[in-house]
Amino acid sequence: MVRVGPISSRAVSRLVVVAGGGGFIGGHLVRSLLASGATVRAVDLKPPGEWQQRFEGAHNRQLDLSTLAGCREALRDADEVYNLASDMGGMGFIERNRALCMLSVLINTHLLMAAREQGVSRYFFASSACVYPVTLQTRPDVTPLAEDDAYPAQPEDGYGWEKLYGERLCRSFFEDFGLATRVARYHNVYGPFGTWMGGREKAPSAICRKVAEAMLSGRHEIEIWGTGRQTRSFLWIDDCIEGTRGLVRSDVAEPLNLGSEELVTIDELVTIVEDLAGIRLERRYDMKAPQGVMGRNSDNTRIRRALGWSPKTPLRDGIARTWSWVYDQVEAQERRGRPTAAFDLGAGASTAVDIRSGGEEAPSLSIVVASRNDAHGGDIGRRMRFFINGLLQQTRRVGLRAELVVVEWNPPEGAPRLHEVLPRPAAHDLLRIRTITVPREVHGRFRHGDTIPLYQMIAKNVGIRRAGADRVLCTNVDLLFSDALADFLARGPFDSRAFYRANRCDVPDELDPGWSVPAQLDFCAGHILRRLGGPQPDVEPWRDREPPPEPPRDPRFSHIRPAPRNPSWRYAAYLRAINLLLRGAETSHRNFQNVMRVALGGAPPDDTPPPPPPRPELPPEEAAYRALDMDACGDFTLMSKAAWMDIHGHAELDLYSIHVDSLALCSAHSLGYRQVTLPPEACAYHLDHPSGWMTLRGVERLRFLERRPGLDFETFRQVALEILRGGSGLKVNPSDWGLLDEPLEEHPL
């Protein structure tokens, strides 16, 4: 056995066939393979319009893999095969359809025969924890099932026998014909884009659906199959894909468990979903419904030793993402009263749309930015292209249907308009882009328009008022969103009574347009100059630590100068040394005084330090002010559109934008919206550049600074405290804030 490395994002292009590519796990596997550079043929019995996910970057085929002819066609010129095709579902399906489950043996048999004929290099078979004897799973406090427990055999009737026979068939093809086969025993894989209704759904999706239906219907009750004390472990889909691909690249020929060891009862699983939904339901237990074995858990000892693999995603985190997705599906169905079907997308993304809607689905997120085609900060056009291309890639990757609203304020005379030069989304992209122009005539009405070419906060208000989604993110055009941040934007969870903040990480503006977006993100992650916002990933202050070691140089970026190390550690270390010297001198002087006092007959001193004075309690508004994450909040502030309307957007002041964005957070907090600061890895990378006015030279800069009207910090702080003390927000905007009554020109890209 060997330990395998991480999946490469630069895989050599080869033809990989995913049998069952229209299903839940198959769809996620297709996305992962495409992202790593493989040529993928996705095959399924269902028409492509009924697939869970469908990717334009793959060769999508509808074939009957229960026939040898269909398998030969599917595997033509294939290098690797992943067999995830079978007729299966949750416990309600497999207990009532044993014969249908058993017939899946034809798929594996004919795929193996065709793989041998084609000279396939690797063949993967998706087995199941249902191969384990039911006699070992009679108690909720089950002993985790190890691979050797499969024999003597007594698997789940029907489905379990088919999987166990499939394993033996793979072993025989390996031993007799030399076909390299790999087998994983999946333990209850779950996540978005899985079956959530219709009878084939598994426990996580079924429970999420039932809770969502209870919420939307107002009937606060839920039916649970069995006693609720049955135990299971559930594996998050991304962990499943990582483990599957790692196993295929390894030399491990025997079956391996691929599951989580986090055991939970069905009742506890219901409680997790109730917590996410914010409700409590009356539970009704159906003892006549299928309930499967009483307990099942995975023993991952062998796969940890062989591959170094363990699942990374805690159950609560994965269920939170699954709940958000399932709730959206249930809500959409309730709203339309119609079924949904898969939508054809680009590589790396998928969603579902109403097959009878006659148009595009409304975006779930509006991203609002303000800009103009000038030389702000050097080359704003270059940074905007990175920003938009990054959004296009990330929305495809995570399946996020979004709109980008670019408010072009005061277009420079003689420069091309933004809608003429910005990157355009392809037809299959999930991101739609439109520009809204605030013309020079409107800009000229502002008193300081000759000094402030772009009123950034008022421009963002223009976008907020015209946003088409229920969630609105105000951000800037010189950012790249990390994978973790994009995942959050797609899957949440999102609370309409909260506002969300993310760290801004400044990175050198040295990205190569020729790099892929994953390569650009890799560069950013390894070249952070400074981080703004909280909570910070490094909790220890610099002064108490050695300077960090130089990160290993990535050969892809060897031609780029290293990012400057944080210069503050040297100065902090100097101050630390001076402080220690002063403490030492003070201690020596005090010790000398004590010795002389005792020698002259005095009493030894009482060295007990006095208790520290009690810290004065801060006024509520001061405590709230200090708790707000206002650093670089103009780069990422997300809340519901209703919340933006509630606070009347950003304050529309005829001033330079500094500090104005922070007033929006104060208003939101004062009106009862809670702050949520995302984890440090969910950050926005900022392409570092000088401020617009810093690019000016000499006397020109001096005159700008002299004339620039801005909100000084002390005034801002007083206003912020007044807002937080008053509890009613900052209502300085007119009723038509965001230039609502202005007929502004729009251009969809």
**Which residues carry out catalysis?**
159
- Taking CB atoms within 8 Å and a gap of at least 24, the contacts of 268-273 are 269/203, 269/204, 269/207, 269/232, 269/234, 269/319, 270/207, 270/211, 270/222, 270/224, 270/228, 272/315, 272/316, 272/319, 273/207, 273/208, 273/211, 273/319, 273/323
Query: Position 511: which residue type?
Result: L
Per the document, the length of the chain is: 749
Q: How far apart are the first and last CA of the chain?
A: 53
Nearest residue to 367 (alpha-carbon basis) of 679, 631, 641: 641
Three-state SS sequence of 273-332: HHHHHCCCCEEEEECCCCCCCCECCECCHHHHHHHCCCCCCCHHHHHHHHHHHHHHHHHH
User: In whole angstroms, how large is the CA radius of gyration of the chain?
Assistant: 30
Beta bridge partners of 639: 472
Nearest residue to 125 (alpha-carbon basis) of 50, 77, 186: 186
CB 477 within 8 A of CB 374: no
CA–CA dist 383, 508 (Å, integer): 12
Nearest residue to 472 (alpha-carbon basis) of 641, 634, 669: 641
Beta bridge partners of 310: none
CA distances to 2, 123, 209, 601 from 184, rounded to whole Å, are 16, 11, 28, 83
Q: ∠97-98-100 over CA atoms, to 5°? A: 70
Beta bridge partners of 223: 284
Beta strand 15-19 with 80-83: parallel, antiparallel or unpaired?
parallel
Give the phi and the psi of residue 358 in degrees, each rounded to 5: 75, 10
Residues contacting residue 274 through CB under 8 Å, at least 6 positions apart: 211, 280, 281
Dig out the tokens for 555 from the structure: 């050969």
Dig out the tokens for 522 from the structure: 């890799």
CA distances to 289, 392, 468 from 362, rounded to whole Å, are 38, 17, 7
CA–CA dist 204, 183 (Å, integer): 24
CA distances to 199, 203, 255, 702 from 328, rounded to whole Å, are 19, 18, 37, 54
Give the phi and the psi of residue 392 in degrees, each rounded to 5: -60, -45
CB 269 within 8 A of CB 224: no
